[in-house]
Each structure stands twice: as structure tokens, then as C-alpha cells.
């Protein structure tokens, strides 16, 4: 479980702010057309699973110390006691047993077990993990019973104030459904993951809910619940879910290639503020200010310069750095049109995006490190901002 302080797993169901109430709807039973909130909750709960992962704990030097490893020692720590268990949730997304969860739920796991809503326990293998977005894909193994996968919905179609339900396994008590609303969209600068575009919700999310589903009133998966903002470590009304529109291409790449390939522009940037615009005599009132252009990068070859302001990518407006990072990362390698403000002029340039280098292979300038000459060891690479 993680937070900012606490991370959590949840499933959510969305409805519109104003809904019709059919004659059969009981007191307090929110309804949309002929579908009640209870109908949706009961339909989607079987698509959410409990995920349990076990990993070997590194005791450092103690792992080889006879005081801890000798069964006759009063300080003996058995192999089972050297294992750490993590509990979270996951969402079934295919009849063949594919499950989406959070990367932090299963990161480093030696074994992964999944429990279905009916209590059936199954082993699962890791298909792929992307720590930079906190997503992972599992595959259930063995003889599978009939499963109840959730259909993928469009998170971009969510509206502020839309009712959502969160379903998960808080504190290990079992499948639990909570209700709230979509509090905000596009939270891209929370500071939890490298790539963020969170849906914010006040549906109750607690430890153990990490990896659960956020669903709309059609029972469609619109988010994977991943974090809460909390001073206490428990629910305080601010939860975050990875939107389905962001998760889908990442999951598809993990299934196909076992990893995520992102595109790279090669700039360091900051959000344009009124003070920055005044200080640098920039006429733009919105966008992302280029602070540095990485040498020999797609941005440098396109002619992008420090103090340029990027205001749109392929015609879509850019309002903050987190949005720009996500947009560029998920574009295919190839040509992209950037609308920029340079001084008092607005112009368009074309950059040819490339596959993002591994941060471990980049030098201090943020560019891919060149191979060392034969006979000379390579200098350690430093991660750089992209």
C-alpha cells in the first residue's frame, strides 16, 4: 500500500449528476434510466480480484549471519519469516484471464496469487510491468472458471461531478464497494509517478485497494485506482486513478512486447507562469516554457530553442508540463507538429520523435551516451530530465 503518503486499490462506478428515478427504485437507490447503482455494483464486483504477492526480504549481512540462519540460535529467522506479503487488487479485462493491477502491488514478487470474488484461488504470472506509470499486467494460470471481465470505457468522456463507485479489498476485509464523484481530471503534476494524468475522486479508497477499478454507470472500466492523498494513511477524500485512456496503450504494449516504448523530444521544460512571461518578455499567456534543449535530440534537430513556448502538439492545446510529457511519450515515433511562441511570433515546426532512450544510458546532458572507445570503460550514466 502506498500513499502520498498512502496508495490504494479501488473500483468505481460513474453516473451523471442528475438522474431519473424509475418507479421500482427504492429509497436512496440512485438510478439511471432502468439501471440502479445496485445493479451496476453487483454486476461489476465479480470483475475485481484480490492480488497477493510474496517476495523474499533482503536482510543484508544478517542473511548470512549464523545468529539468524542457524536453527539452533535463539535469533533464528525461518525462510518463511524472511518473506514479505503484499495485498492489493486487480481488474479482470479478458475472458482468458488477463488482469490489470498496479506495479507497486506485485513489484519484485516471487509468487503471485489471485482470489476471485467467489473465493476461487489461482496462480498468476507477470506479463509485463511499467513502474513509470504504476501499471502491471498479469495472466491467470490453470483451469479457469467462467470469468466476468470488465469492458473498457472512455475516461475522457467522464464529467466532473459524475458518480463513481470504488471496489476493492481495503485492509484485507474482502470485496468492498464505495461511492463518490469525479472530483477532477487531468491531475498530471501530483508527483507520484513519472507519467501522470490522474482522475481525482472522493470515493473512499483505503490501503489494500491499489489496482482496483473505477467504473461508470454503464459498468465500464474508466480507471485503475492507485493512490490517495492522506495525512493519516487512510481515506481523507482525495483519491487518484489512472485513466483508462492512458492505461489502454500501456497495457497493449506490455501484452505485445512485455515493455513500454515511449517517444522522446529532448527538452527540459517548466510551466509558463505570469512572472516567467514578464521576466522573459514572452507574449504567450499559456503553454510550456522550454528551459533547455538536449544536444543532438529530436528537438534540437527541429530547431527548438530555449525560451520557446510550446502551446500545442498536433493541434491539441498544451497547458502544463505533465500534459506535454504524457502527450509526447505516447505518440508514435515519427513526425509531430509543434505550435510554439517565439518572442512575439507564433509559428509551427515539425519534429521527428524517436524512441525514448533508457535513462540509465543517458549522459549528464540528457542525451544518449556514446559507446566507450575499445579498451576504455564507459563513464557512469546519469539519469536526466526529458
Give the CATH number of the domain where residue 234 resides.
Answer: 2.40.10.120
214 and 354 together in one domain = no
Cβ 236 vs Cβ 229: under 8 Å: yes
Whether residue 179 is predicted with pLDDT greater than 90 in this model: the reply is yes
188 and 245: one domain? yes
Evaluate whether residue 335 is within a structural domain: yes
Nearest to 182 by CA among 166, 155, 201: 201
Q: How many domains does the chain have?
A: 2
Q: Does residue 375 sit within a domain?
A: no
Same domain as 144, residue 60: yes
**What is 241-254 written as a DSSP string?**
EEEHHHHHHHHHHH
pLDDT in tens, 27-70: 344 555 556 889 999 999 999 999 998 876 554 544 444 444 45
pLDDT value for 363: 46
Residue positions annotated with a catalytic role? 104, 134, 210
Q: H-type helices in the chain, by residue range? A: 37-44, 66-69, 103-106, 244-257, 274-279, 298-302, 321-330
Task: Examine residue 342 and state whether it is found in any structural domain, yes or no.
Answer: yes
**Beta-bridge mates of residue 112:** 53, 124
Shared domain for 272 and 255, answered yes or no, is: no
> Does residue 119 sit in the same domain as residue 252?
yes
My answer on whether 253 and 270 are in the same domain is: no
Cα dist from 137 to 90, 145, 252, whole Å: 9, 19, 9
Q: Which CATH number do you get for residue 286?
A: 2.30.42.10
Same domain, residue pair 249 and 278: no
All three cell numbers of 193, joined, read 509517478
Domain end residue (candidates: 214, 235, 259):
259
Greater pLDDT, 186 or 78? 186
User: Do 187 and 301 reside in the same domain of the chain?
Assistant: no
Last residue of a domain, one of 259, 294, 321: 259
The range of the structural domain enclosing residue 326 comes to 263-359
Q: Tens digits of per-residue pLDDT, 266-284?
A: 999 999 999 998 898 888 8
Amino acid at each position: 500500500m502506498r500513499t502520498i503518503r498512502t496508495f490504494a486499490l479501488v473500483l468505481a462506478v460513474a453516473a451523471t449528476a442528475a438522474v431519473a428515478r424509475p418507479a421500482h427504485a427504492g429509497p436512496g437507490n440512485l438510478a439511471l434510466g432502468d439501471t440502479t447503482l445496485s445493479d451496476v455494483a453487483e454486476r461489476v464486483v465479480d470483475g475485481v480480484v484480490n492480488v497477493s504477492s510474496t517476495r523474499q526480504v533482503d536482510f543484508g549481512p544478517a542473511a548470512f549471519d549464523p545468529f539468524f540462519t542457524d536453527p539452533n540460535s535463539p535469533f533464528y529467522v525461518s525462510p518463511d519469516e524472511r518473506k514479505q506479503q503484499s495485498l492489493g487488487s486487480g481488474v479482470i479485462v479478458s475472458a482468458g484471464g488477463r488482469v490489470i493491477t498496479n506495479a507497486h502491488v506485485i513489484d519484485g514478487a516471487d509468487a503471485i496469487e489471485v482470489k476471485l470474488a467467489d473465493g476461487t484461488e489461482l496462480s498468476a504470472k507477470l506479463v509485463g510491468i511499467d513502474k513509470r506509470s504504476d501499471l502491471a499486467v498479469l495472466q491467470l494460470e490453470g483451469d479457469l472458471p467462467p470469468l466476468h471481465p470488465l469492458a473498457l470505457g472512455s475516461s475522457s468522456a467522464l464529467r466532473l461531478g459524475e458518480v463513481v463507485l470504488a471496489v476493492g479489498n481495503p485492509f484485507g476485509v474482502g470485496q468492498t464497494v464505495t461511492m463518490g464523484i469525479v472530483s477532477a481530471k487531468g491531475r498530471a503534476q501530483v508527483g507520484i509517478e513519472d507519467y501522470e494524468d490522474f482522475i481525482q475522486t472522493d470515493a473512499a479508497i483505503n490501503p489494500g485497494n491499489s489496482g482496483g477499478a473505477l467504473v461508470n454507470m454503464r459498468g465500464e472500466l474508466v480507471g485503475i485506482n492507485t493512490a490517495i492523498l492522506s495525512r493519516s494513511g487512510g481515506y481523507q477524500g482525495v483519491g487518484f486513478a489512472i485513466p483508462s485512456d492512458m492505461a489502454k496503450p500501456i497495457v497493449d504494449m506490455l501484452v505485445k512486447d512485455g515493455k513500454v516504448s515511449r517517444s522522446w523530444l529532448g527538452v527540459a521544460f517548466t510551466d509558463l507562469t505570469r512572472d516567467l512571461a514578464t521576466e522573459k518578455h514572452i507574449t504567450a499567456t499559456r503553454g510550456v516554457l522550454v528551459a533547455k534543449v538536449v544536444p543532438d535530440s529530436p528537438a534540437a534537430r527541429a530547431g527548438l530553442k530555449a525560451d520557446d513556448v510550446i502551446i500545442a502538439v498536433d493541434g491539441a492545446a498544451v497547458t502544463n508540463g505533465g500534459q506535454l510529457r504524457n502527450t509526447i511519450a505516447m505518440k508514435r515515433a515519427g513526425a509531430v507538429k509543434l505550435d510554439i511562441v517565439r518572442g512575439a511570433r507564433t509559428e509551427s515546426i515539425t519534429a521527428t520523435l524517436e524512441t525514448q532512450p533508457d535513462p540509465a544510458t543517458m549522459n549528464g546532458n540528457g542525451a544518449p551516451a556514446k559507446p566507450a572507445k575499445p579498451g576504455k570503460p564507459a563513464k557512469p550514466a546519469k539519469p536526466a530530465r526529458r
